[in-house]
Amino acid sequence: MFHRFMVSLVALACACSAIAAEPPRVGLVLAGGGARGIAHAGVIRALEEMQVPVHAVAGTSMGALVGGLYASGMDADDLSTVVENMDWERAFQDGVERSEQPQRRKADDYDYPTQIRFSLKDGSVSMPLGFIQGQQVQQIIKELMRDVAEVRNFDELPIPYRAVATDIETGQAYVFDRGNVVTAMRASMSLPGLLAPVEHNGLLLIDGGIANNVPVNVARDMGVDVVIVVDIGTPLRDRGEINSVVAVADQMVGFLTRKNSEQQLATLTDTDILVAPDLTGIGMLGFDQAEEIYRRGYETAMALGPQLASLTVDDTDWSRYLAARRVARPTDRPIDLIAVHNNSRVSDDIIRIRLSQQVGEPLDREQLLVDIADIYALDYWEIIDFDVRQEDSINVLHINARERAWGDDRLKFGLNLITDMDGASEFNLGTSYLWQGLNGLGGELYARGQLGDTVDISGEFYQPLDLYSRFFVVPYLGYKDYDVFTIGPEFDPAQTLGNWRVREYKGELAAGVNLRRRTQLRLGARQVSGEYRIDVSSSEALPEDDYREGSVYGNIRYDGLDNLFFPTHGGFLFAEYEAVREGMGADRSFERWQAFGQAAFSFGADSANTVSLTARTGQSTGATSEPQNFYQLGGLFNVSGLPQNYFSGRQMAFVMAQYQRRLSDNSVLPINLPVYAGFSIEGGQLWTDRSDVDFGDLVGAGSIYLGIDSPVGPLFLAYGHSEQDLSAIYLSLGWPFLTNQARIGR
Active centre residues (catalytic):
61, 207
* Mode of pairing for the β-strands spanning 609-621 and 651-662: antiparallel
Cα–Cα distance for residue pair 488/498, rounded to 1 Å: 9
d(CA 57, CA 273): 14
Whole-angstrom Cα distance, residue 447 to residue 458?
6
CA distance 577 to 554: 6
Q: Quick check: helix, strand or coil at residue 272? A: coil
* CB-facing half-sphere around the CA of 735: CA atoms within 13 A: 25
Look at strands 496-515 and 173-176 and give their pairing: unpaired
Taking the C-alpha atoms of residue 499 and residue 505, their distance in angstroms, rounded to an integer, is: 20
Q: 50-61 burial string, b = 16+ CB within 10 Å, else e?
A: bbbbbbbbbbbb
- Residue 601's alpha-carbon distances to 567, 606, 658, in angstroms, are 8, 13, 10
- The distance of Cα 564 from the centroid of its chain, to the nearest Å, equals 14
**Residue 250 — left, alpha, or beta (φ > 0 → left; ψ -120 to 50 → alpha)?**
alpha
Cβ neighbourhood burial of 176 (10 Å; 0-12, 13-18, 19+):
buried
Instruction: Say if residues 455 and 481 touch (Cβ distance below 8 Å).
Output: yes
**C-alpha torsion sign, points 415, 463, 575, 101:** positive
Rounded distance between C-alpha atoms, residue 187 and residue 207, angstroms: 6
170 DSSP 8-state letter: T
Phi/psi region, residue 38 (left: phi>0; alpha: psi -120 to 50; beta: rest), is alpha
In 3D, which of 740, 617, 600, 738 has the Cα closest to residue 678?
Answer: 600
H-assigned helices in 128-244: 135-144, 181-188, 216-220
The Cα 212–Cα 219 span in angstroms is 12
Nearest 5°: CA angle at 537, between 534 and 543? 45
**622: alpha, beta or left? (left if phi > 0; alpha if psi -120 to 50):** left
Q: φ, ψ for residue 300 (rounded to 5)? A: -65, -45
The H or E element containing residue 590 is strand 590-603
Q: Report the C-alpha gap between 239 and 193 in whole angstroms.
A: 23
Asked if 95 contacts 373 with a C-beta cutoff of 8 angstroms, the reply is yes
**Virtual CA dihedral for 347, 353, 358, 364, nearest 10 degrees?**
-100
Evaluate whether 361 touches 334 at the Cβ level (below 8 Å). yes
Beta strands in 145-236 (DSSP E): 161-167, 173-176, 193-195, 198-200, 203-207, 226-230
Q: What share of the chain is helix, strand, coil (3-state, %, to 5)?
A: 25, 40, 35
Element (H, E) at 293: helix 290-302
- How far apart (Å, rounded) are the C-alpha atoms in residues 745 and 8? 94
Rounded CA separation 267/265 (Å): 5
User: What is the β-pairing status of strands 198-200 and 130-132?
Assistant: unpaired
387 close to 180: Cβ distance less than 8 angstroms: yes
Mode of pairing for the β-strands spanning 713-722 and 699-710: antiparallel
